[in-house]
Structure 1
Amino acid sequence: MSSARAALPTRQVEKPWGKDVLPAPFTAPEGVRIGEIWFEPPAALPDLLVKYIFTSEALSVQVHPSDAQTIAKGIGRQGKEECWLIIAAEPGATLGIGFDSDLDEAAMRAAALDGSIEHLLTWHPVAPGDFFYIPANTVHAIGAGVGLIEVQQNSDITYRLYDYGRPRELHLDDGVAVSKGERYVLDRWHKTVAPHGSQQLVDGPLFLLDQVAGAPSPEVAARYPAALLVIPREGDVEVGGEAIAPGGCAFAASLADVRFADNGVCLLARGCADGA
């Protein structure tokens, strides 16, 4: 058993759309809007990044490239696919994902420039337990009043298409070039997650993600034969003898290092080595 701490270090990221009052166990410095809590990826699992995201205003309308696109651009494998598990939602909270109708590049660029792109997005109502997978090239925006857990490829390449007049850089050329101006296939990419159930959420090709209630079943355990991330949602979990509470994220060298509470709920995640 390793003597290194299992709990991953965190980093609070200030955002104009963040919140100055965060839900427990998080706290924001006085007068600072924190939008994201990052868990620093461990050296043994560098390809995954876990975040909590809290919004008081909508995020920019944005898009991420794929691995193939960043490799073709000569900057290596830096694509970004991500998924969101909604943990809190104020009345009327929504996520903008995909478009109501198809857009070509010229129409998308024009809509980004005049701001109408915000109204062309499909805004999906959300509630705790909603789960969305966001493939690369999907135009999206997280709305106000949302709290979520994000698991993503460890890349920070974001192309902003529209930012509601905020004084931040836009990336129209790069963004439009990789954007799919199409509908989001809700039946394929959305799930409803029971708060106390076990459920497979992502089955590759870039990473795996499961929610487990109590100890994982043999079928789930078989999908995690080596190092993994453990994200408690309800009740503590012990990783390498260290108690990890909800709001934390831990690295485990193997499932043998993890003690699951019978009444606990947590997420398990790992990258896929062959997810090129």
Structure 2
Amino acid sequence: MSRVLPTISVEKPWGKDRLPAPFTAPDGQRIGEIWFEPPAELDQLLVKYIFTTEKLSVQVHPDDDQSEAAGKGRQGKSECWYVIDAEPGATLGIGFADHADTNTLRAAALDGSIEDMLVWHEVRAGDFFYIPANTVHAIGAGVSLIEVQQNSDITYRLHDYGRPRELHLDEGLAVAKGEPYDMGLARHVSPTGTIRLVSGPFFVLDRVDGPMGAELVADYPGALLAIPRSDGVTVGGSPVAVGECALVDAVEALDIAPGGTCLITRPL
């Protein structure tokens, strides 16, 4: 049954006490993530908002086969980032400037120089990056973004700027690719127009300007998730607001009014 998904706000030391509209942080709290509880019908996917005032750890996620081999379940973690707000000079670190072997990465993780080996991309609202499993990455300070990911919580921290949290060097280095990021997986999304952002292998993601065309409707044969980016999005006749995420049991129940914009996604 179509419905708006429950949310979970997560405090983080690197989160924000002033969030971009329509979100607000409770007094005295620094909110770093807002999650939408994955519905049983589409539990392969997780959607969240991330808000940062400090850099997140340098980290990496395993793929499906590596996760299963480690006894952590069948699903690894590939993800994507859609930047919705960025302070001047805000950056995302993705991949390395040059190829590096495991020994080099280990030494750099231990002495902190792995941060400087990453390529830091200055970002603005509308920038988009698909991050395959095994890609070493870090979200910088001053960024607000939507993350759509395989529903997995397996994160291996390689470097955390001296914060008193556990690192996972052996596990992380076993799955990390010491190579440059494929910029063919990144783009700046035009403010208008329907565009496919992710075409697999684990999920599809579209940024849709309403109303939806017949070809796109046909590409969503079952349930999907809808993440409004403007007013004018309804599911089963009920409005879904910016800052919410809805399970849509059939694409025919989703209406995006002319001038309305929505992200829609489904697993493959």
Pick the TM interval, shorter chain.
over 0.9
Cα distance in 2 between the residues matched to 1:111 and 1:48: 33
Match of 2:158 among 150, 156, 161: 161
Instruction: Select which of 64, 69, 74 maps to 1:67.
Output: 64
In structure 1, what residue type is equivalent to 2:211? Answer: A
Aligned-partner Cα distance in 2 for 1:143–1:236: 32
Greater mean alpha carbon deviation, residues 82-91 or residues 25-34: 25-34
Amino acid at match of 1:206: F
1:213 aligns with 2:209: yes
Q: Using the TM superposition, name which of 66-75 and 165-174 deviates more.
A: 66-75
The partner residue of 2:20 within 20, 23, 31 is: 23
Write out aligned runs for 1:1-276 (5 A). Answer: 2=1, 6-186=3-183, 188-272=184-268
> Offset of 1:77 from its aligned partner?
1.2
Aligned partners of 2:107 and 2:16: how far apart in 1?
Answer: 31
Whole-angstrom CA distance in 2 between matches of 1:73 and 1:244: 39
SS at match of 1:44: helix
SS of residue matched to 1:41: coil
| CA RMSD of superposed structures (Å) | 1.0
Residue 252 (structure 1) shift: 0.5
Report the count of equivalent residues. 268
- Per-residue CA deviations over 1:231-269 (Å, capped at 9, x if unaligned) read 100113111222101111100001111121111000110
CA–CA distance in 2 between the matches of 1:215 and 1:254?
A: 16
CA contact (8 A) 1:6 1:242 kept: no
Task: Give, in whole Å, the separation in 1 of the partners of 2:40 and 2:90.
Answer: 36
TM superposition shift of 1:23: 1.5
1:25 CA drift (Å): 1.6
SS of equivalent residue, structure 1 residue 65: coil
Deviates more, 1:40-49 or 1:235-244: 235-244
Segments of structure 2 that go 5 or more residues without pairing to the other structure are none
Structure 1, gaps ≥5 residues long: none
Contact 1:236–1:246 at 8 Å: present in 2 too?
no
- Given the two structures, how large is their TM-score scaled by the length of structure 2? 0.98
Rounded to whole Å, the distance in 2 between the matches of 1:270 and 1:201 is 12
1:122-143 Cα deviation digits (max 9, x unpaired):
0011111111000000000000
Whole-angstrom distance in 2 between the partners of 1:270 and 1:208: 6
